[in-house]
Amino acid sequence: MTPILLRRAPTNDSFYVVGESYIYGIMDGESLLGPLPPSWKVRVELNGSIMEPRYLDTERNIMVREDPRLENLPAEWERIEQQRTADDPIMFAPHRNKSTGEIINWDPRMSPENLRARGINLQTFRLV
């Protein structure tokens, strides 16, 4: 997750996108998921042209693909391996809905509905 810097447009409900930003302490989803558990560290690995986060449990010295802050993937979803295209984001995690066949390039546990269920106050606004 990359923070995006916004500038308020003349109308109250609109914002201009200034660009991506780096904010120390929230580059690994902390603003949405909270801090990693104390013994965990995130490592970003470059796999060809794809950046993939991995999570290191320093107490057990194991590296895993799943973020330890997230609950188990819902039964109707599965993570899939997929060839990256030019339209995919730099970091993407393709998942398929086993019932509908729908494929998404993000983790379904990070949907607005799931984030709201975690108590995160999401707001909608217009980008210009």
Q: Is residue 82 part of a domain?
A: yes
From the list 35, 4, 38, the residue with the least C-alpha distance to 18 is 4
Q: Is residue 4 part of a domain?
A: no
Instruction: Please state the pTM of the whole predicted model.
Output: 0.74
Neighbouring-strand partners of residue 44: 53
pLDDT in tens, 6-15: 999 987 788 9
Q: Into how many domains does the chain fold?
A: 1
Q: Is residue 25 part of a domain?
A: no
Q: Which two tokens stand for residue 5?
A: 């810097």
Q: Is residue 109 part of a domain?
A: yes
pLDDT in tens, 77-123: 999 987 777 676 666 788 999 999 999 988 899 889 989 998 989 88
* d(C-alpha 128, C-alpha 122), whole Å: 19
Q: Is residue 1 part of a domain?
A: no
**What is the chain's length?**
128
Could you list the beta-strand ranges (E) of 67-110: 77-79, 95-97, 103-104
pLDDT in tens, 33-71: 889 999 999 998 877 766 778 899 999 999 998 899 999
